[in-house]
Chain A
Amino acid sequence: MKRLVVVGNGMAGVACVEQILKYDPTFDITIFGDETHVNYNRILLSSVLAGERSADEITLNTLEWYVRNNIQLRLGVRVVDVNSEDKTVTGDDGSVTPYDALLIATGSSAFKPPIEGLDKENVFAFRTLDDTRELLLRARPGVKAVVIGGGLLGLEAARGLQVQGCDVTVVHLMSTLMERQLDPDGGNYLTGKMEDLGVRVLLRRSTTAIVGDERAEGVALEDGTVLEADLVIVAAGIRPNVELAYKAGVRVNRGIVVNDFMETSDPDIFAVGECVEHRGICYGLVAPLLEQGKVLAATITGNKGPEYTGTLLATKLKIMGVDVFSAGDWSEQHADPVRFEDRALGVYKKLTIRDNKLVGAILVGDTSDSHRYMDWLRSGVDLSEKRSHLLFPPPASDAGLDIAEMSDNATVCGCVGVTKSAIIHAIHDRGVCTLSQLKETTRASTGCGSCTSLCQNILRAVAPDFEEDGKKVLCSCVPFSQDNLREILRGQRLKSVQDVLDIYGNGKGCEVCKPALSYMLDMIWCGDHDEDRSARFINDRVHANIQKDGTFSVVPRIRGGVTSPAELRRIADVAEKYNVPMVKITGSQRIDLLGVKKEDLPKVWADLGMPSGQAYTKGVRMVKTCVGTDFCRFGTQDSTSAGIEMERRFEHLFTPHKVKMASVGCPRNCAEATVKDIGLVGQEGGWQVVVGGAAGKAVRKADLLVTVETTEQALEAAELFFQYYREQANYLERTYDFVERVGIDKVRKETVYAPESVKQALLDRLKKSKAASRDAWLEGQTPVNPTQFIPLRPIERVLS
């Protein structure tokens, strides 16, 4: 059996091995990786740093994959020598491994610029999962971070750290950011975006030294300024790792020189990925590496034929709130520029056209058309007929045209390498008709996710039974999706459930659509609608939870789970007076009185003298708290007060489904905030606000919404999410399903990272709803109708 040794366990090497296994599964393969992790998606490190994904979620090949394919995996071993005469490699553990074919996929490392003090503590690169973990350990509100380098990686690191609450400054040597991908105008727009997000940008500054004793305390610039720094990230570019190739004696320029078959100057040594130089170019992006891997797999397995002829360079910045795309040659020397810019929107677009063909594109602020331009760049299509709408997509009626015009071998998903024809194949031959099925079948849109809308469009245009994921009609009484219904209610200014049913439905309604419509009307009109109790479930007519025997349970509001002796005495008296069969402590730090008769409810509420805990409705349940700083020796934040305040701000409001919250004073998380719909997690110097957690029917760890410094900021972030969920979620959709469906990225973009005006509007609507809401138990004194709580007593008995 032929022995293949792969040096490098990164995306390029392993992707190539995957291709090799397709040709010839009989290779005896050994992979060396100097990191201690299985192969992960390096492009997504920025989203790990920003807290959008966990380290596990970016794993590309699990240990089982290596085992299943009989691959010897040597993690944590660095190959230090190659003997191309004896055909062996030597590891830093002293092991000597023979090969028949050697694949060098050593990638690249962070370039260390000539700056003094790079070896100090708290100075990191941002290249690996370990780097990312180190940064995450240290990033917290108030930490001053300086990022040296305003390129792609530097900006991704800066934004990630800023999301974690750090105070971030980017120092860049050149006069504009990402100058290799953007022209000066595009760079200026990007600077504006970063600054709007709260990242400080210093341009044309050269760094001379990291100052401090053992640990970094500051960054000294050439002009004499010293920036305070608790954390320094060096992102000044990458260098191909070519030492091993030197030792092997193969030809090396900037990278390891390969030909179109991906062969080096040694017939038994091959190379792929960022360490390679092909036709004078070293690629640092993922798409070229995957293409190279496919070609090399053919060559190495004796199926030589396919050629690698280079890849069109295209870059997308993957940071939240900043959309940047750059491809091809955007210089204006031999091409005509076509531009659009809008300062208020922060949108800049430039295309360069030569001989009626697109040769380059830059998009800042709106990258929704990037796939269209990539396709034009790749296919070299003649644009003469499109000249009038180069910068804007054709009108909606032509939406399918774009898809039809894409060539079959156009790449739709650059991360996984899925073409349009592969998707169409999946649709026709495998019956795929939803996005989730497409992900399952082809893996398209499972990488960075930027091609999701394009995948949707192809499905929409091609799949005969296309179904929007999660977009079902509410019910057969009113056959519209909930999105659609919300639009209708708003647009037609409908304010009563019966009107909606009469105009858009069957006039009758049922137990599914009536409560849903009731919720929507209350939410849309901020409480200023025609409340129709007949459309509410019994719990919302009598404000208590119906039990199996027709009696009700009563849960008074005990904000934050904090009560008093007097309150407890009253509860005990009520329980005795009304012969309550069971008094129970709930899982939500509250007290439940079970088995109360409907007609007794008003008296029970009056005697309790406490507001409704809404334990019976799709509404705000409670905020569970720990004892925070008041008594706990570990508490770092006053979680009890924060929780009580959050409960006060949200109580009495309706939500699409129940909302359970928690507030904890330290990461020990004693009130389980990370499995709640909204959680406040206190930490030294600030709060993490987490959303979409669950520990009921489903178990899900909440996603980080934002990290902030003050309690007020944390409460405001919670308010933004709370109102966004109220407005955007479908009725009976818990936050954990909602966040998963929409994606935390989008949620963040449209709440905490939304423009000020959008945030203010969300808060205003919440305020309005809150002002119109009241404690439901007040109806005990003033019922909405005389028989709300009492049965009918026959007037008389008549004989006829």
Chain B
Amino acid sequence: MNWIRIATCDSIPPREGRAAVIGGKQIAIFNLGDRFLAVDNQCPHQSGPLCDGIVAGDAVVCPLHAWKVNLETGAVARPADQEACVRTYETRVDEGVVSINL
């Protein structure tokens, strides 16, 4: 287990995402209101920044070509039948700070 404290919860507005740069790697963390979800900040399609996408329920829509990625599973929800998926990370909140498990 390698938990890393990232930021206070209020640095990510509800239903938005932010990129965190951790050792040269970008992870997108989303505030879904009742929980935080984290995935690699790279769309499997053409590496678009998922943190900048519009959140649709528990999925995010990539701002470049509207691929839809499920934030719980990392699976591509649109277009259909894509093998590709993004890596997901565990998150937790302690005393108002959100951490992810690398």
**A residues near B, CB below 8 A?**
477, 498, 506, 508-511, 514-515, 532-538, 541, 546, 548, 550, 785-787, 791-800
Does B72 have its Cβ within 8 Å of any Cβ on chain A?
Answer: no
A-B contact pairs, 21 of them (CB 8 A): A508-B57, A509-B56, A511-B53, A511-B54, A511-B56, A511-B61, A534-B13, A534-B54, A541-B16, A787-B7, A787-B11, A792-B7, A792-B29, A794-B6, A794-B7, A795-B5, A795-B6, A796-B5, A797-B5, A798-B3, A799-B3
Q: Is the CB of A791 within 8 A of B13?
A: no
Q: Is the CB of A546 within 8 A of B63?
A: yes
Q: Is the CB of B20 within 8 A of A799?
A: no
Nearest chain A CB to B34 CB, angstrom units: 12
Q: Is the CB of A538 within 8 A of B2?
A: no
Q: Is the CB of A792 within 8 A of B20?
A: yes
Interface of chain A, main secondary structure: loop
Given A508, A546, A787, which contacts B56 in the complex, CB threshold below 8 Å?
Answer: A508
Q: Is the CB of B97 within 8 A of A795?
A: yes
Encode contact with A along B3-18: 1 for CB under 8 Å, 0 otherwise. 1111100011111101
Q: Is the CB of A514 within 8 A of B54?
A: yes
Interface residues of B in 40-68 (CB under 8 A from A): 46-49, 52-57, 61, 63-64, 66
Tell me the bound Cα distance from A794 to B89 in angstroms: 15
Residue of A nearest to B3 (CB): A800
Tell me the bound Cα distance from A550 to B51 in angstroms: 10
Residue of B nearest to A799 (CB): B2
Q: Is the CB of B11 within 8 A of A798?
A: no
Does B84 have its Cβ within 8 Å of any Cβ on chain A?
Answer: no
With a cutoff of 8 Å between Cβ atoms, the chain B residues found around residue A532 in the complex are: 15
Q: Is the CB of B63 within 8 A of A548?
A: no
Given B19, B53, B54, which contacts A791 in the complex, CB threshold below 8 Å?
Answer: B19
Tell me the bound Cα distance from A741 to B11 in angstroms: 45
User: How many B residues touch A, CB cutoff 8 Å?
Assistant: 36
Tell me the bound Cα distance from A548 to B47 in angstroms: 9
Does B1 have its Cβ within 8 Å of any Cβ on chain A?
Answer: yes
12 other contacts beyond A534-B15, A785-B13, A795-B7, with CB at 8 A cut-off?
A498-B15, A509-B56, A511-B54, A511-B56, A534-B13, A541-B52, A791-B19, A791-B21, A793-B20, A794-B5, A795-B6, A796-B4
Tell me the bound Cα distance from A702 to B5 in angstroms: 58
Tell me the bound Cα distance from A792 to B20 in angstroms: 4
Tell me the bound Cα distance from A511 to B4 in angstroms: 31
Q: Is the CB of B61 within 8 A of A548?
A: no
With a cutoff of 8 Å between Cβ atoms, the chain A residues found around residue B99 in the complex are: 798
Nearest chain B CB to A220 CB, angstrom units: 71
> If the complex has contacts A538-B52, A798-B3, A798-B99, are A787 and B18 also in contact, measured as CB distance less than 8 A?
yes
Q: Is the CB of B54 within 8 A of A535?
A: yes
Q: Is the CB of B63 within 8 A of A537?
A: yes
> If the complex has contacts A550-B48, A791-B20, are A538 and B97 also in contact, measured as CB distance less than 8 A?
no
Tell me the bound Cα distance from A509 to B4 in angstroms: 31
Tell me the bound Cα distance from A535 to B22 in angstroms: 27
Nearest chain A CB to B67 CB, angstrom units: 11
Residue of B nearest to A797 (CB): B4
Tell me the bound Cα distance from A514 to B61 in angstroms: 12
Q: Is the CB of B1 within 8 A of A800?
A: yes
With a cutoff of 8 Å between Cβ atoms, the chain B residues found around residue A785 in the complex are: 11, 13
Q: Is the CB of B12 within 8 A of A787?
A: yes
Q: Is the CB of B4 within 8 A of A538?
A: no
Q: Is the CB of B20 within 8 A of A794?
A: yes
> If the complex has contacts A794-B4, A800-B3, are A548 and B64 also in contact, measured as CB distance less than 8 A?
yes
> If the complex has contacts A787-B12, A792-B29, A795-B97, are A510 and B54 also in contact, measured as CB distance less than 8 A?
yes
